[in-house]
Amino acid sequence: MTFKMIELPYEKNALEPYISAQTFDYHYGKHYKTYVDNLNKLIENTEFATMSLEEIIKNTYAKPEYTAIFNNAAQTWNHEFFWKSMRPNGGGEPKSELKQKIETSFGTIEKFKEEFKTAAITQFGSGWAWLVEDNGTLKVIKTSNADTPIAHNLKPILTIDVWEHAYYLDYQNKRADFVDEYIKNLLNW
């Protein structure tokens, strides 16, 4: 199987001023593209060539001989989920079903937002913050580098990419400002 880049679900300038078209030129057009291209090269003529992205992730996780395949497969999956975790005129509050689940797990929507923001800001170095479902309970987790909830049998609901390449052109070192704007204006519940 050859993996193809997914289309962005909006124009590359549609999330301005919070994420610029220039950031998408690099983040989508170069970083994400490189993960997909590398994955295709690495799995060619291997046992992984016929697997889905999720199967590749689960079958290469924590196996040192497959670290490169895991990293590129997981980053492909994570970015495709990230593109869909945002939308123009996002933010606000989730619709009733998710809202109820969040209130059951976190108390209030505000408490969830605080926990998600803290996870995103305190992820040391590169990585991701997530809202995931774990056996019916919602949790906030953070993962390092390419690590992904898919490898841990957790169901991702929302994510934010906190690698510097996700925000540096627009926010420089101010990751907290990026996370704030993301939650307020872009989050696609």
Nearest residue to Mn ion on Cβ basis: 161
Which CB sits closer to Mn ion, 100 or 144? 144
CB of 162 to Mn ion, least distance (A): 9
Query: From the CB of 31, what's the least distance to Mn ion, in Å?
Result: 5
User: How many residues contact Mn ion, by CB under 5 A?
Assistant: 3
Is residue 163 a contact point for Mn ion (CB under 5 A)? yes
Q: Where do the H-state alpha helices sit in the chain?
A: 21-26, 33-43, 53-60, 67-84, 96-106, 109-122, 168-171, 175-181
**Segment interacting with Mn ion (CB under 5 A) among 115-123, 125-133, 142-150, 162-170:** 162-170
Of 35 and 112, CB closest to Mn ion: 35
By CB under 5 A, residue 167 contacts Mn ion: no
Angstrom CA distances, 133 to 128, 150, 166, stand at 16, 11, 24
Q: Considering only CA atoms, which of 76, 98, 96 is closest in space to residue 6? A: 76
The closest alpha carbon to 51, from 158, 161, 160, 150, belongs to 150
CA atoms within 13 A on the CB side of 144: 2
Interface with Mn ion, residue 181, by CB under 5 A? no
Report the residue number, 102 or 166, with the smaller CB distance to Mn ion: 166
Residue 172: left (phi > 0), alpha (psi -120 to 50), or beta?
A: left
* Least distance from Mn ion to the Cβ atom of residue 79, Å: 6
Looking only at residues 98 through 157 of this chain, which bind Mn ion when binding is defined by CB under 5 A? none
From candidates 147, 161, 170, 181, binder to Mn ion by CB under 5 A: 161
Q: Which is nearer to Mn ion, 161 or 181 (CB)?
A: 161
Q: What's the residue count for the chain? A: 189
For residues 131 and 149, what is the distance between their CA atoms, to the nearest angstrom? 10
Enumerate binding residues for Mn ion (CB under 5 A).
161, 163, 166
